[in-house]
Structure 1
């Protein structure tokens, strides 16, 4: 075998290995679990072992007040130590903002807009004072207007409020001049709603993708293929992401849901991995594909633990 042929074969092998690298995976980590990690190094190590075992590359770490604590302001050393440890293990860390505890779905309303701005500003202020390895790499906003009681009667108005809030948040990012990616958790069905906003009529999903750096698409289905599957529901957002130069992560659910097809909870880990592999194979050559995000750390663990318990 000639040296040139051998070199080509080695290069091809390396390229094949590189292309076979799994897609990135993020995980939503809610209030109690995030604060546990702030409080106890042992909880961080336990989480790290879990993340590494399940291919998690980015942690969405809750970064707002909970049960009369707001450590990002009152005790930022806890965040610094936790983020530094996670970074040291090779993970990225995004500030997770939005909370049922705080009823942040109200933040889209003009009368609550100041609270939304203050919420992201605290992350910007934290990052400005932290060392490079202690800073958040991004922000994920989980603020869902469809939770509001008046959703059915004022859907378009509330979606316009959401876009107004989003524009204000991104303007604040520009004012601070921080290089930090910000994106929302967005329902896949927003691509079926058209809205006129700031003189442009287009799908709500497209308005949202235009505003933010990325979206974590709540693509909650328990199968990849078919007209009601992960691939179909993400295709429009992925196509627009390619056009706009924005990343799209596919969100999947592992916690129980009364609508069976919404979650993998009634299936096994092998089932979920098979369906995610199918979705990844479909989207892997599209630059907008940013991997997956799993909902959520505690629920995911409980689901997996349930599968390992011996049956009687």
Structure 2
């Protein structure tokens, strides 16, 4: 989990103020869908066929992600402007349901607003809404203070293709006296626009004036008679009461075990904190050592070498600090807090390194067998993240990695079920179900046990639990926690598989400089990984994190540069970069082609909020390696992936909204929070200096 906060898959949702950004958003949000859900919905056809004098599209916003046309909704923004949206039960029109609360801060620069689609952006062949039977688009709005201003824009299939929309006019044009604190209906004549109503795509509210705004939105509808009133929601007829659902307790990742176990007062601070914040489970980094008989020097757990001997070796894993662990677990159990042994490294996914995680499982079971009941671990949890291996960028090598990853998980689960009463689980990203545009199937598609589907679904099928790294700081919307977790939780419910924990992030990673070598076109890069498979099996070089940047055409490789590096650190970074260069320099073409690729990378960095600044920096010639073209840029953690820069009130509101949705599913295990120190700092800012820093697992 160390580096999971700022992946290349998590890009800032930057959009043109007049567009829906279909292509860009779909790449992010399709992660919550899978192939079976891509077909055009029969509900859409039924709604069109039954079109009458009015058609409610978003009635009360009862559905937390999509409307009656399967359309998604979300905010858009560009810093320093900002917008957020959330379903709220008050204020609302009528006795039941929700309204959509939209808040916007429009600065002198940037843009912000809110969009609603009338088609399924995930469908391989989207079905746009045929609105020809209707003459007007209607929605209800009220302001928090009154006087709020925004522009109304609409789009059809052609506008979506251009990632833009047509300005219809300011809201004041359709409301005498403008927005007030009372609910008012906005009626937009469709015939006065240039929109193709046979392929209607969406509605956008754009906040164009500088200021702070808060409005509430309700009952979006199409009408053939502008005078027909959309009735307010009335309280439904009493129905049989549903069984009362209890919100599950929460789970906490905790990495800095050695510091914690060495200080008994810190135990009590931790346990008191857990009880105050309804945390009933901790995934605790296991302190251990590895001995591989044929290795003269043992690798650290998180720095397994890709050149290690094959799996004929059998690692012996020894649990450290056993006395402290037994006392710690006993105290946790006395407070009804479960403890799972946590560990992970990308290299553990590979067959040649399976002996280490399997040895760890055996060591935990042995630890339990030698202790009293109250001293035993409740489970084992792995956070291996195979997508950090360089080979992930090759579809063929990716499938091999995933198959080995699943084989490891299956064997860990088998051993734990047969030899203990513990639970076994793993962390998975939310986006493995996303369609890879280069392959046309799920990003993490793999055949396992005779079935081909996303690795996330395989994990849900066979494991006790999974922790979904569902790192967003908003519950609602197309790019929110619910949207990204929806397909997984629904699959888990259908399959009666693993318990599913929805993970949120509170860690705020500092900006990091990365020195990249100008890369190769995607296919040539993938071919190079096949030629040098050992290199493809690494995520670290000499302890330096290897970074990749995909600019849409080329894949660039680089090394993170330490903050304010010493001369020794600077030299070590350059040595690692030279190791990368040695693998790839012979694949590069002419200087002109290399410079063209560097220019492409520069333009992408300028438009992508994950990166900041660009500086050309080459690697000097040395021996057989010619001068390597390169560039330095800063990696930036997008704000939307973490609650680390939010207020506690925001965290509580958003996670509670996500819990309210997920708790209706029997397979939901609760919210999991990454990780203890940063979450405590969020909850108790005054205590921030008292907690230990995160320990790299």
> What's the TM-score bracket when you normalise by the shorter of the two chains?
0.7 to 0.9
Q: Residue 274 of structure 2 corresponds to which residue in structure 1?
A: 51
Q: Residue 368 of structure 2 corresponds to which residue in structure 1?
A: 127
Structure 1 or 2: more strand by fraction: 2
1:292 to 626, 651, 671: 671
Q: Residue 171 of structure 2 corresponds to which residue in structure 1?
A: none
Matched, 1:251 2:503: yes
Moved more, 165-174 or 123-132: 165-174
Instruction: Give the CA deviation at 1:156.
Output: 2.2
Secondary structure of the 1:189 match is: coil
Q: Residue 453 of structure 2 corresponds to which residue in structure 1?
A: 202
Matched, 1:269 2:648: yes
Q: TM-score, normalised by structure 2?
A: 0.39
Matches within 5 A, 1:71-220: 73-98=319-344, 104-153=345-394, 154-176=397-419, 178-192=420-434, 193=442, 194-220=445-471
* RMSD across aligned positions (CA): 2.5
Matched, 1:279 2:676: no
**Deviation string for 1:189-223 (max 9, x for gaps)?**
11232221231112221111112111111111110
Instruction: Give the CA deviation at 1:273.
Output: 0.9
The 1:171–1:20 alpha-carbon spacing in structure 2 relative to 1, beyond 3 Å, is closer
**Deviation string for 1:166-201 (max 9, x for gaps)?**
11212222442x121111011011123222123111
Q: Residue 263 of structure 2 corresponds to which residue in structure 1?
A: 40
| Distance (whole Å) between structure 1 residues aligned to residue 283 and residue 417 of structure 2 | 22
| Distance (whole Å) between structure 1 residues aligned to residue 416 and residue 336 of structure 2 | 26
**Deviation string for 1:248-275 (max 9, x for gaps)?**
1100000114111111112111101111
| Distance (whole Å) between structure 1 residues aligned to residue 378 and residue 447 of structure 2 | 32
Unaligned stretches of 5+ in structure 1? 1-14, 99-103
| Distance (whole Å) between structure 2 residues aligned to residue 61 and residue 200 of structure 1 | 33
Instruction: Give the CA deviation at 1:71.
Output: 10
Instruction: Give the CA deviation at 1:22.
Output: 3.7
2:680 to 296, 301, 311: 301
Secondary structure of the 2:252 match is: strand
Q: Residue 284 of structure 2 corresponds to which residue in structure 1?
A: 61
Q: Residue 236 of structure 1 corresponds to which residue in structure 2?
A: 487
- C-alpha contact (below 8 Å) 1:37/1:44 kept by paired residues: yes
Matched, 1:26 2:257: no
- C-alpha contact (below 8 Å) 2:412/2:424 kept by paired residues: no
- C-alpha contact (below 8 Å) 1:249/1:291 kept by paired residues: yes
Structure 1 or 2: more helix by fraction: 1
Q: Residue 4 of structure 1 corresponds to which residue in structure 2?
A: none
Secondary structure of the 1:256 match is: coil
- C-alpha contact (below 8 Å) 1:268/1:307 kept by paired residues: no
| Distance (whole Å) between structure 2 residues aligned to residue 198 and residue 24 of structure 1 | 34
| Distance (whole Å) between structure 1 residues aligned to residue 332 and residue 260 of structure 2 | 10
Q: TM-score, normalised by structure 1?
A: 0.84
- C-alpha contact (below 8 Å) 1:215/1:249 kept by paired residues: yes
The 1:132–1:155 alpha-carbon spacing in structure 2 relative to 1, beyond 3 Å, is same
Moved more, 47-56 or 290-299: 47-56
**Deviation string for 1:226-248 (max 9, x for gaps)?**
11111111111111211222211
Q: Give the greater-gyration-radius structure (CA).
A: 2
Instruction: Give the CA deviation at 1:51.
Output: 1.3
